Amino acid sequence: MKKCAVIGSINMDLVLRVPRFPRPGESLIGSSFKTTFGGKGANQAVALGKLGIPVRMAGQVGGDAFGEAYCEHFQSCGVDVRAVQRAQDLTTAVADIFVNDAGENFIGTDPGANLACTPEWLDRILPGLMDCDIFLLQLEIPLESVFCALKRLHAAGKTVILDPASAAPLPEEALACVDYLTPNETELRTLTGNLPEASGTEERIRALIGGSDRVVVHKSGAHGAYIGTRHGITHVPGYPVKAVDTTAAGDTFNAGLAAGLAMGRSLEESVRLANAAGALAVTALGAQAGMPTLEAAESLMANSASTLR
């Protein structure tokens, strides 16, 4: 079994159910308020821990009660926290999240201690992660740190999975260090913003691959995912579930992909596992509440017909 490491954000999510998203200036009564563990990086680490994959988290929390609670939570989920540091003068990052009746969300974040994940911090923690094989990154810590990490991990021959979220245009020299790039629809459009507006999904995936060996795994929600390589594009159908909250579906998908690769499964099998893990993640309120065990994800794969959409 290969070991995974996640370098990224750690947020506390303040979640509120709303019947619909408010309009500017409007006050709306919501329900089911919850303070839950979140953050794209931390979500990926916790999802890997729940899937039973050895995983180390690298990030920063604040010197507050949220930071302390998060470190305990990581450990209870099987996540190695030796590379999680506490920025004593900062607050742990928070995300305010509205979830509507369709399970869609609206998110605003205060990055707090995530901003302490500087290139200098990376210099300190990276040597301690080099026994890991597969690295997962996202774009919720300073971009210059993400770019430094990509370069150094690529040079060291590590497998790098980049979730280009929250959406931002990325330079080719950063993309050149990525083995698996996993954009959703918004991120795919942002990364291929140079193409005409009317360009289709497959055209955008092909443009992102260019002539490279990079694999683009395009996350398409309930439709499943598209695997793009320079040899072609394959659709891997998703699993039908009732969506309660789609927050962290993409994070759980990335963990499923990494888990499959860590267990030595083929790319297509790993994407099937990612689809199942991501589907189960949306069945409960809160980023991490629906994240499945490996057994639960495999049971969904065995017992449910994939959607053909």
Binding site for ligand RIB (CB under 6 A): 11, 13, 38-40, 43, 95, 107, 109, 140, 247-248, 251, 287
Nearest to ligand RIB of 69, 207 (CB atom)? 69
Name the residues annotated as catalytic. Answer: 251
Place of tokens 């794209």: 40
Interhelix angle 267-281/294-303, rounded to 10 degrees, is 100
Paired tokens of 113: 């201690």
Q: How far is CA 88 from the centre of its chain?
A: 26
* Closest CA relative to residue 7, chosen from 82, 72, 93, 83: 83
Nearest to ligand RIB of 170, 209 (CB atom)? 170
DSSP state of 109: E
Strands (E), the chain: 4-7, 11-17, 31-38, 55-62, 79-87, 93-99, 105-110, 134-137, 159-162, 180-181, 215-219, 225-229, 232-236
CA 163 – CA 47 distance, rounded (Å): 15
Nearest to ligand RIB of 96, 101 (CB atom)? 96
CA 41 – CA 37 distance, rounded (Å): 11
Residue 5 Cβ, how far from ligand RIB at the closest point, in Å?
Answer: 18
Residue 61 Cβ, how far from ligand RIB at the closest point, in Å?
Answer: 13
Place of tokens 């443009």: 207
CA 122 – CA 298 distance, rounded (Å): 35
Residue 195 Cβ, how far from ligand RIB at the closest point, in Å?
Answer: 25
Nearest to ligand RIB of 192, 246 (CB atom)? 246
Nearest to ligand RIB of 43, 270 (CB atom)? 43
Nearest to ligand RIB of 48, 209 (CB atom)? 48
Q: 40 and 9 in contact (C-beta within 8 Å)?
A: yes
CA 129 – CA 160 distance, rounded (Å): 13
The CA distances from residue 206 to 18, 138, 184, 216, 232, in Å, are 38, 21, 15, 9, 8
Residue nearest to ligand RIB (CB): 38
Residue 6 Cβ, how far from ligand RIB at the closest point, in Å?
Answer: 13
Kindly write down the DSSP assignment for every residue of 254-287, as one continuous string: HHHHHHHHHTT--HHHHHHHHHHHHHHHTTSSST
Q: How far is CA 154 from the centre of its chain?
A: 19
Nearest to ligand RIB of 236, 287 (CB atom)? 287
